[in-house]
Amino acid sequence: MKAIFCGNLDYDARQSDLERLFRRYGRIDRVDMKSGLLGMSMLFFVSYYRPTGFAFVYMEDERDAEDAIRRLDQSEFGRKGRRLRVEWTKQERESRRSPGSRRSSTNLTPSKTLFVINFDPVHTRTRDLERHFDPYGKILSTRIRRNFAFVQYELQEDATRALESTNMSKFMDRVISVEYAARDDERRNGHSP
């Protein structure tokens, strides 16, 4: 399965339209639209969520994925005719540079803090993430920020074990992506929480 980044989507783009577009080039495993809170209306809805302008498309065959990237990058899509940005995900690009590291993280520098994306930002709570990551070591802090999260371990070895076990794992009906954070929290804040 090959992951493709598809950016510059209209905010009201539908997953079914994106699936139909990519299906022309081969079999699709799934499309993950990224969501965020965009507005509230007391009269009609308490809140509503719409895609925030990008998605990850998972194609079954690498050649089909390459064909889709080549033909769809900079093509017009949607009611507003936006030019799509279609390319390999950072993780796929990294694995192409270093053969044999299919499950390697985008940020290869080990740290105590993990960066987590693609969980359900509406229903996921801090304790849900802690329950998922707790088996791998002592967690110092867990913070959710919009549609991404940071999980900080006491030991870097525990973070590495967690990354290897949880990257591309199923979490509350989604497949999450886990990477090393660019910097440890303790270095940024000057202390551990």
CB 142 within 8 A of CB 126: yes
Domain hosting 40: range is 2-88
126 vs 168: which has the higher pLDDT: 126
* 101 inside domain: no
188: nearest Cα among 123, 113, 129 = 113
> 158-183 pLDDT, tens per residue?
999 999 999 888 899 888 889 998 87
Residues ≥6 apart with Cβ < 8 Å to 49 = 35, 36, 37, 38, 122
Residue 97 lies in a domain: no
The answer to whether the pTM exceeds 0.85 is no
How many distinct structural domains can be found in the chain?
2
pLDDT 10s digits, 31-78: 888 754 443 333 333 334 444 578 889 998 889 999 999 999 999 998
Query: What is the percent of the chain where pLDDT is above 70?
Result: 78
CATH number for the domain spanning 31: value is 3.30.70.330
Whether residue 99 is contained in a domain is answered as: no
- List residues bridging with 184 in a β-sheet: none
Confidence of residue 91 (pLDDT cuts 50, 70, 90): confident
Query: Is the separation of the CB atoms in 81 and 64 below 8 Å?
Result: no
Assess if residue 106 is contained within a domain.
no
55, 88, 121: which is the final residue of a domain? 88
Domain shared by 76 and 33, yes or no = yes
Q: Which residues contact 76 (CB under 8 A, 6 or more apart)?
A: 82, 83, 84
